[in-house]
Chains A and B, each alone.
Chain A
Amino acid sequence: MIHFLTLEKMQITIKNEKDSTIHNIDFNGSSVGQLLKQLKINPETVLVVRNNEVITEKENLRDKDAVEILSVISGG
Chain B
Amino acid sequence: MSCLNCDKKAVIELQHGNLCRTHFLAYFEDKVFKTIKKYNLIIPKDKICIATSGGKDSLTVLYLAKKYCELNNLSLDCLFALAIDEGIENYRSKTLEDLKQFCKEHKIILNIISNKEEFGKTLDEAYPVINEGTKKKPCNVCGVWRRYLLNKYARNYGANKVVTGHNLDDEAQAIMMNIFKANTKLAGRLGPVSGEMEHDLFVQRVKPLYFCTDKEVRLYTLLKGFKIQFAECPYSHSGYRYQIQKMLNDFESKFKGTKQGIIKSFLSLLPHLENSDGQEIKVCVLCHEAANQDICNACKMKEVIQND
Contact = CB atoms under 8 A, between A and B. Distances in A.
A54 interface: yes
A55 B250 CA distance: 21
Interface string B29-65: 0000000000000000000000001011100000000
19 contacts: A18-B232, A42-B253, A47-B215, A49-B222, A53-B11, A56-B1, A56-B12, A56-B13, A56-B18, A71-B230, A72-B214, A72-B215, A73-B169, A73-B245, A75-B55, A75-B233, A76-B55, A76-B91, A76-B233
A76 B230 CA distance: 10
Query: In which size bucket is the chain A interface?
Result: 20 to 34
Residue among A49, A56, A75 with the most chain B CB within 10 A? Answer: A75
Given A18-B230, A75-B55, A75-B232, A47 B13 contact: no
> Is the contact region of chain B dominated by helix, strand, or loop, or is it mixed?
helix
Contacts, number: 67
Given A47-B215, A58-B13, A75 B222 contact: no
Interface of B: 1, 9-13, 18, 21, 53, 55-57, 91, 169, 214-215, 217-219, 222-223, 230-233, 236, 245, 249-250, 252-253
Contacts of A44: 215, 249, 252-253
A65 interface: no
Interface string A28-70: 0000000000000011110101000111111100000000001
Going nearest first, the 4 A-B pairs with the smallest beta carbon separation are A75-B232, A72-B218, A54-B11, A44-B249
Contact of A75 (B11, B217, B231): B231
